[in-house]
Chain A
Amino acid sequence: MSTQSAPARLSRELIGALIVFALFAGLPILADAMGDTFVVFFTIRIMVFAIAAVSLSLILGYGAMVSFGHAAYLGLGAYCVAILAEHGIWDVTVSLPVTLAVCGLFALVTGAISLKTRGVYFIMITLAFGQMAYYTATSLSAYGGDDGLTMWGRTEILGSTALGDRTVFYYVVLGCLLTCYLLARMIVASRFGRVLQGAKQSEMRLRAIGIDPYAYRLIAYVIAGMMAGLAGALLANAAEFVSPAYMSWHRSGELIVMVVLGGLGSLLGAIVGAASFLVLEEVLSHFTEHWRLIFGPFLVLVVLFGRGGLISLLPGGRKNG
């Protein structure tokens, strides 16, 4: 995908990924030394949204599927965990498969319909399905409705409550992020990934050589939905609380912004984009309530002038997953 030779591409990419993950891995140690706990909580949040952004990047950056309802999977994953907990089911051996199955099924059904459309229609219909999930959540009066639902604890691992420990939880989230990133990288580089990226460039070309892109897009959509569902499950655990706000269309828009900010067509970019977005939001909102007024123009500048997104400024370089 670039004019550099493959080994050069690989090493540049490796450097970028190593830096990012080394920063994540080292952060709790640093924070402990400084006695700062907020940073750890905040970084957990960053990593959770980075998982969601990576999943969106997979379909948006590599498949040109502009899903405006991706936050629905975040919410769906969160509600799966919280509702199961409400019924006394805390163990990951149940909650994780249920979360992935529910999100995968929702993606399969809504994706099968949405992917019959293209362009603006696809954006609209994914938005509509997202809103449907949102309003369904608000009407779940047994589970808090509008007010959301508090989880009195965290997911257990074979009966162990180890996730209750902040540092353990941090590294579990980091492990999930690393797994999702590597999984997405592998998918992008596979035969499947090549079909996905080919279909983004010219659907007619793919049909002409005997490939119907529909099923490939649908499978990618389902994978992305399940990945975002995992992010949702982690988000519920991080906050020990879920609410319909997780699924609002603002949230879906923010996920798109994270991916574009970091650099379309780069999985590492999605992680950097999620981190930058949340840090900027946090910092700017300290100065002024109207932080969006500053953030909006900043975003426009990045999109206009930094065509490869923030990732193109990193040693990892642009367009290298």
Chain B
Amino acid sequence: MAEPILALDDLCKAYGALKVTSHVSLDVRPGEIHAVIGPNGAGKTTLIGQISGSLAPDSGRIRFDGRDVTALPMHARAHAGLLRSFQITEILPAFTARENVALALQAREGHSFRFWRNVSRDADLNARADACLAELGLEARAEVPAGTLSHGEKRALELAIAMACEPKLLLLDEPMAGTGREETDRLVEVLRALKGRYAMLLVEHDMSAVFALADRISVLVYGEIVATGTPEEIRDNPRVREAYLGEEAVA
């Protein structure tokens, strides 16, 4: 079996007495979609924060793409190909959708200590940004300030920005949160199309999306992984049914 693209080794983090991450070990294999599910407050967002580098774990190690990145700052991890999307949309509201994506492409191309050329007239950059937007059905919204997009469009833009960075591993924190059925279906299709292009760690509450996409699922409860397995194994795991899924959710 190929070496995992991401491997968490005994990760722990506490806020005071509250253990938000408790001895978490999991891995993501190249090309795999590994879903992490769990009730609200289980520590999913905190876990993504530690993997992406916006939060520091108390102990444990994070290996990404063959090296230890535990001490690497967030922007350096992003450069290495470890990208994340945010549960609470984190876009640049005054920039247009195109400018949001173009900035991500620009970041990919190394330093931005370039003062002379007008970036908004960089036809090549704009064309590539528009191509990313088109993948998510946002091509008609390229010139709209991102702050005025609909919620669903913002979620899609969030994904377009991450994809523009050509990730090796994409951490997705509830990409479907708050979107309507139709938008959820479209995002599922987008992610399915991306499957295999890069690995993903998917945190999601929408169970139909999770079971449609995931190769493996880990269940997080009170900061602890209580089960990891294929969707079938997780569906049939009595502990998981009891702790989280509920009978009707998988019926």
Chain A residues within 8 Å of B, Cβ to Cβ: 1-3, 5-6, 186-187, 189-195, 197-198, 201-202, 204-212, 215-216, 219
| B residues 160-204 touching A (CB-CB < 8 Å) | 161-162, 164-165
Residues of the A chain whose Cβ atoms lie less than 8 Å from the Cβ of B144? 3
Interface status of B210 (Cβ within 8 A of chain A): no
Query: Contacts of B76 on A, CB cut-off 8 Å?
Result: 210
> B94 at the A/B interface (Cβ < 8 Å)?
yes
17 A-B pairs in the complex with CB atoms less than 8 angstroms apart: A1-B94, A1-B145, A6-B120, A189-B118, A194-B103, A197-B94, A198-B103, A201-B93, A204-B54, A205-B91, A206-B103, A206-B107, A207-B53, A207-B54, A208-B162, A209-B103, A211-B107
CA A219 – CA B113 in complex, angstroms? Answer: 9
Digit string of B102-114 for contact with A (CB within 8 Å is 1, else 0)? 1110111000111
> Once the chains bind, are B78 and A216 in contact (CB under 8 Å)?
no
- Name the contact of B119 in the complex, choosing from A194, A207, A209, A211 (C-beta under 8 A): A194
Extra inter-chain contacts (7) besides given A207-B54, A211-B103, CB under 8 Å: A194-B99, A195-B112, A207-B74, A208-B90, A209-B161, A210-B78, A210-B108
B73–A195 contact, CB under 8 A?
no
The secondary structure that dominates the A interface is: helix
Task: Specify the chain A residue showing the minimal Cβ separation from B113.
Answer: A192
How many Å lie between the Cα of A1 and that of B119 in the bound state? Answer: 13
Interface residues on B, range: 35 or more
> CA A213 – CA B92 in complex, angstroms?
14
Does residue B67 face the partner (Cβ distance < 8 Å to A)? no
A210 touches B79 (CB 8 A): yes
A195 touches B103 (CB 8 A): yes
A5-B143, A204-B54, A210-B79 given as contacts; is B92 within 8 A of A198 (CB)?
A: yes
In-complex Cβ contact of A192 among B90, B104, B112, B120 (8 A): B112
Q: Which residues of A contact B102 (CB under 8 A)?
A: 194
Q: Are B118's CB and A190's CB within 8 A?
A: yes
**Cα distance A3–B83 when bound, in Å?**
30
The residue of chain B having its C-beta at the shortest distance from the C-beta of A9 within the complex is: B120
Asked whether, in the complex, the Cβ of A198 is within 8 Å of the Cβ of B145, the reply is no
Interface pair A209/B54, CB less than 8 Å apart: no
Question: Complex Cα distance A97/B189, Å?
Answer: 60
A194: which of B79, B90, B112, B116 is its contact (CB, 8 Å)?
B112
B18 to chain A, nearest CB (A): 23
Q: Which chain B positions have C-beta within 8 A of A197?
A: 94-95
- Asked whether B108 lies within 8 Å of A191 as measured between CB atoms, the reply is no
Q: What is the minimal beta-carbon distance from A105 to any residue of chain B, in angstroms?
A: 19
Which chain A residues lie closer than 8 Å to B73 at the CB level? Answer: 207, 212
A192 and B115 contact, CB distance less than 8 A: yes
- Chain A residues whose C-beta falls within 8 Å of the C-beta of B90 in the assembled complex: 202, 204-205, 208
Q: A1 to B98: give the CA distance in the assembly, Å.
A: 11
Contact A211 B115 (CB under 8 A): no
